[in-house]
Structure 1
Amino acid sequence: MTRIVLGVGASHSTLMNTHWEETVHKDEAGRFRDALYAARDRIAAARPDTVVLVGSNHFRGFWLDLIPSFTIGVGECVASGESGTPKGPQPVDEELARHVAGSLVEGGRFDVAFSARLQIDHGQSHAIQYLLAGLDVRIVPIVVNVFAPPLPTLARCDALGRAVREAVEAFPGERRVAVIGSGGLSHRLPWPDWRSPDGEDEEFMVRAWLDGRNNWQDYDARRREIIRAARAAINPEFDDAFLAMVEKGELHRITAYTTERLEEAAGNGAQEVRTWLVMAAALGHVPGRRLAYEAVPEWLTGMAVAVIEPENHGRVPA
């Protein structure tokens, strides 16, 4: 019997790797990093065989020539390795991944895209680096479009998580499965709406997103300069309310937000909370536990870690 045994939500930032020494808020950064390691220990203790890894893509695997709402990696998976994150092939549980993709489509729930040669970036590899370090697990990568509007609605992401849960539990093999949602919380990136760029920097970004499939490295230096010049726009009040929903098992309430309202409240980078929502829905929205929340302006982001342990609520047999 296959069961989902743990859920983890965690923010990510490549600036952890590239600008740790320049980070002024060292205490906050250290507490967040410690929480990642604590979550990694919880994953190890749950003994998963496979991790369903839900993340975003920052225009290194998907480009404006093709942007699916949801994509499942069902074959090769290669991490781009930017900014000190893992690089190269990642181990995929192809049997489970293909079962999930097929179940979603054949059940009439989701016409998901799939990739037999998926490229991921730090939207997922940051989690591999910090949450799966040293663990012998395979992954089922799921990429959610959170940066190229029109975005999938939050309600649709919640429905995806529920459908993934059903598909995983219907898998005929024996698996212990953890689910990770990587991204968020509140932050604003200097990234334009690709449909209406305003000014030279925004036009550059859109051109990079359109043309960068085979040469994204050529655009990366200026891209990072633009990001590093951005001013932090963190909303701790939104983040606290979001984490309270996780703790109460009520993250489905976030579906009341439209894409526009979410950006107004917490920045365009907060669209990544869709990955947490998929994760929480896959865990049946049982109450979770906050391990850390730190506002780190140098990383532009409200950084959080939370875990959902369904066996504490009688959902998973010992």
Structure 2
Amino acid sequence: MANIVTGIGTSHVPSVGAVIDNGKEQDPYWKPLFDGYQPARDWIQDNMPDVAIVVYNDHASAFGLNLIPTFTLGVAEEFPPADEGYGPRKVPTAVGDPDLAWHLAESLILDEFDMTIANEMSVDHGCTVPLSIMFDKPEQWPCKIIPLCVNVIQYPPPTGKRCFDLGKAIRKAVEAYDKDIKVAIFGTGGMSHQLQGERAGLVNAEFDQSFLDRLTTDPVGLTKIPHVEYMREAGSEGIELVMWLIMRGAMGDDASETYKFYHVPASNTGAGLIVLEDGSQK
């Protein structure tokens, strides 16, 4: 059967993509961040999945205020990089896995999660930057990609508990798939940042680092954080952290931390990265 073997939690700061695309990783401002990414990049090369489910939020590229699905699952053959106003990133088109994606859609909907099914969808920096963080600049992404887009832009977003429970349902679905493949799941977004208003530029390193620690020590406790606490402690865009809980729910109770890294500043945010492994695989 298929197994979820790896969970990746990472920020998806758009400027990180621009730095990679323009070869500026060793510039003094960015070098500490990319030095911190390197151990995770080295690790994934030795533990490459066959498929990555990437949980992220769209930034008005594929969706807008005219259509706001809470959870969207991409089932297409491929997902091109979106034009976010300055041309698409020059990164590979994400090759999908329609067989697994449709299996997930059926299982999740019958498990009473109301998924929107996307037969055609471009993916913006929310999806492509995490791939670049882990896989650098390959000619093609080294595994198939299933995008899972979550609304954290327009209130109300899903709760942390709903996201965690969706992760558990994804794990159940993957384990019922009849092909022997290794699956990774990415939870992306955050960490603390606010892009507008009087608190623009807010970074709460204490909150961010506590969240990273609790992904292994107290994931159920994280599911109880209300929306208002994310916004108060981590800024208006800190709500993106609920997407990391989909990843954590999919990893099961015995997941363990393999690598963790946190850096401030990355543009106007706190940047975090964590690698979890399924306990049965160690």
TM-score, normalization: structure 2? 0.88
| Deviation per residue, 1:151-208 (Å, 9 max, x gap) | 11111001111100110111011211111112111111228xxxxxxxxxxxxxxxxx
Gap regions ≥5 residues in structure 2: none
Cα pair 2:52 2:183 within 8 Å, conserved: yes
1:291 deviates by: 2.7
**Structure 1: distance between partners of 2:156 and 2:187:** 21
Secondary structure (helix, strand or coil) at the match of 1:5 reads strand
Partner residue, 1:170: 176
1:281 maps onto 2:281 in alignment: no
Cα pair 1:85 1:129 within 8 Å, conserved: no
Aligned in 2, Cα 1:140/1:19: closer, same or farther, shift over 3 Å? closer
1:90 maps onto 2:94 in alignment: yes
1:65 maps onto 2:66 in alignment: yes
1:79 maps onto 2:47 in alignment: no
Partner residue, 1:224: none
Q: How does 1:294-313 map to 2 (within 5 A)?
A: 294-296=263-265, 299-310=267-278, 313=279
Aligned in 2, Cα 1:18/1:175: closer, same or farther, shift over 3 Å? closer
Aligned in 2, Cα 1:184/1:86: closer, same or farther, shift over 3 Å? farther
Partner residue, 2:110: 106
**Structure 1: distance between partners of 2:69 and 2:92:** 23
Cα pair 2:193 2:200 within 8 Å, conserved: no
Secondary structure (helix, strand or coil) at the match of 2:30 reads helix
Q: How does 1:27-66 map to 2 (within 5 A)?
A: 29-66=30-67
1:15 maps onto 2:15 in alignment: yes
Cα pair 2:17 2:125 within 8 Å, conserved: no
Cα pair 2:104 2:174 within 8 Å, conserved: yes
**Structure 2: distance between partners of 1:123 and 1:233:** 20
Aligned in 2, Cα 1:89/1:19: closer, same or farther, shift over 3 Å? closer
**Structure 2: distance between partners of 1:28 and 1:243:** 23
Cα pair 2:7 2:185 within 8 Å, conserved: yes
- What is the aligned-residue RMSD (CA, Å)? 2.4
Aligned in 2, Cα 1:37/1:81: closer, same or farther, shift over 3 Å? farther
Partner residue, 1:160: 166
1:306 deviates by: 0.7
**Structure 2: distance between partners of 1:68 and 1:100:** 17
Secondary structure (helix, strand or coil) at the match of 1:256 reads coil
Secondary structure (helix, strand or coil) at the match of 1:288 reads strand
Partner residue, 1:128: 131
| Deviation per residue, 1:15-50 (Å, 9 max, x gap) | 2344799x9xx6673232233332222222113110
1:98 deviates by: 0.8
Cα pair 1:70 1:144 within 8 Å, conserved: yes
% same residue = 31
Secondary structure (helix, strand or coil) at the match of 1:165 reads helix
Partner residue, 1:201: none
Report the residue type matching 2:202 in the other structure: A
Q: Find runs of 4+ consecutive structure 1 residues off by over 6 angstroms.
A: none
Report the residue type matching 2:194 in the other structure: R
Structure with a larger share of its residues in helix: 1
Of residues 220, 224, 235, the one that matches 2:204 is 235
Aligned in 2, Cα 1:275/1:239: closer, same or farther, shift over 3 Å? same
Cα pair 1:7 1:180 within 8 Å, conserved: yes
Report the residue type matching 2:250 in the other structure: A
Aligned residue pair count? 271
Of residues 250, 255, 267, the one that matches 2:223 is 255
